Amino acid sequence: MPELLPTLKDLTVQSTVGGQLGKVVNCRVLSLLAQPSLVVNHQLKRILAEDDQPVLQLDEGDLRLTPVDFANQVSRQFANALAGVSAAAVARLVVIYAPSWAAECRLPADAQRIRIAHRQIRDVIQILYDRDTASHVQIIYGGFVFEDELATVLWDVNVDGVLIK
């Protein structure tokens, strides 16, 4: 029996400090924490073949990983999840960084942690593919953001928006 793909949904994203909202429509969200990356790879290829919008959700779980540990985890997950996927297909990708710990507690350095994580995600895509491909991938933050941190997060060149729940 073939694996079921996640249901189609639309996501609302705040992409500017002024509150401009956008949509990611007809997308299928694949979680790299909830499933093995090889399963995600298979599903990602099916989503791309069906011409739906692929969304990969990264989550470091309940642990707040150090930047080095986070980069190692992201590298491994992306390499496995994107194996055999062309640069043109990856350029269509939307990545959501949605750490579970963000719902639990927040520290003053969280805006910086978000910015570092997004930079690392874009760096991994650039290493796996190239700079042009990495620049086309939308990377959205999907965790909680304090109102006074929102502008700092959205002004970062590697953060393409914040998911509105």
For the chain, the average pLDDT equals 88
Determine the pLDDT at residue 100: 80
**Does a structural domain hold residue 3?**
no
End-to-end CA distance of the chain: 33
CATH number, domain with residue 117: 3.20.20.70
Interval 75-94: pLDDT, tens? 888 899 999 999 999 999 99
Residue-number span of the structural domain to which 65 is assigned = 9-164
The pTM (predicted TM-score) of the whole model is: 0.90
Which among 15-24, 45-54, 69-78 has the top mean pLDDT? 45-54
Cα–Cα distance measured from residue 54 to residue 31, given in angstroms and rounded to the nearest whole number: 11
**Does a structural domain hold residue 146?**
yes
What is the distance of C-alpha 80 from the center of its chain? 15
Total structural domains within the chain:
1
**Does a structural domain hold residue 85?**
yes
Interval 90-140: pLDDT, tens? 999 999 998 887 766 655 458 888 899 999 999 999 999 999 999 999 999
Interval 5-40: pLDDT, tens? 889 899 999 987 666 789 999 999 999 888 899 999
**Among 8, 7, 9, residue whose Cα is nearest residue 163:** 9
CB-CB neighbours of 28 under 10 Å: 18
**Does a structural domain hold residue 4?**
no
**Does a structural domain hold residue 2?**
no
Q: What percent of the chain has pLDDT over 70?
A: 92
Are residues 93 and 137 in contact, defined by beta-carbon separation less than 8 angstroms? Answer: yes
